[in-house]
Amino acid sequence: MARTESYMLPLNTKAPHFSLTNGIDQNQLTLDQVKGSSGTLVIFMCNHCPYVLHLLDKMVEVSHQIKEWGINTVSISSNDVDNYPEDSPELMQKLAIEKSFGFPYLYDPTQEVALAYEAACTPDFYLFDQDLKLVYRGRFDDARPKNDNPVTGKDLMDACRKLSRGMAQDANQIPSLGCNIKWKANNEPKGFSI
């Protein structure tokens, strides 16, 4: 497990389109189908990452809360399942049911979507406005598996609250931190230009 920070995709970037299979029910979903009326939260995550598991219950809770504000959540797993079978679609479905996800959990087998979003770690959070322009990319909060900080989701919640109220976002956004995305040998980025 390599500790990796977000690449911090530039603000105002238009959300890259995707059409991926939902690991929960095997239906194909597009970005346009999952976007919210006020905004869309895209989370790159996986089943086994300790950083994801540390935040997961609160992430599910936050997703329910922001849905009331018109912000839909969608999660995407892009890890190489050949080398990391614990992230397989079958286990994605199991985790989503076990944790009562109220949002799609999409599988990105080619890793093209992760590359398009310049995703670097799990979890990696991207908040887009109603026009699918990026307004926040950064951490959930300052809780980590080996610190005693409470899991609150305060950084992400603050960004979602500001989006729902039409307020300006903080210019100082702190990168997310987690395990690196498990790239296939031919996909590993050499560093994104930001």
At 137 the pLDDT is 97
pLDDT computed for residue 190 by the predictor: 63
Tell the residue number behind the tokens 């497990």, with chain if given.
1
Rounded CA Rg of the chain: 15
**Which pLDDT score is estimated for 193?**
42
Residue of 15, 42, 23, 192 lying closest to 99 (CA atoms): 23
Instruction: Phi first, then psi: give them for residue 60, nearest 5 degrees.
Output: -65, -45
What structural domains does the chain harbor?
A: 3-180 (3.40.30.10)
pLDDT at position 54: 96
Residue 64, number of CB atoms within 10 A of its CB: 13
Mean pLDDT computed over every residue of the chain: 94
Closest CA to 106 of 20, 18, 17, 48: 20
Q: pLDDT tens across 107-151, in order?
A: 999 999 999 999 999 999 999 999 999 999 999 999 999 899 999
Q: Which residues of the chain fall short of a pLDDT of 50? A: 1, 193-194
